[in-house]
Amino acid sequence: MAEPFETLITVADMRAHGADAVSASCWRCNRFWRSPIFALPPETTLAKVQALMKCHDCGNDRVHVTPVWPNGEPGLQ
């Protein structure tokens, strides 16, 4: 499963592999949006990014976040 990699990856890792944004989706209302990551500290993990996210439509803070890979998922360990 990709889950450990997905949550432990850092902003620095994402940027190293070409991602400059994450896609987020709200568990409650299914709103889907993109958020740039350039303003975040490089050591910020994806789990932390997810914890900081909040849905602007319904205010829900249970948001699922995945990196946006411009060239497909790099498949790191």
Q: What residues line the site for Zn ion (CB under 5 A)?
A: 26, 28-29, 31, 55, 57-58, 60
For Zn ion, which is the closer residue by CB, 64 or 73?
A: 64
For Zn ion, which is the closer residue by CB, 29 or 76?
A: 29
CB 17 within 8 A of CB 76: yes
Dist. CA 27–CA 45, nearest whole Å: 20
In the complex, the smallest distance separating the C-beta of residue 1 from Zn ion, rounded to whole angstroms, is 25
Dist. CA 66–CA 3, nearest whole Å: 10
For Zn ion, which is the closer residue by CB, 43 or 57?
A: 57
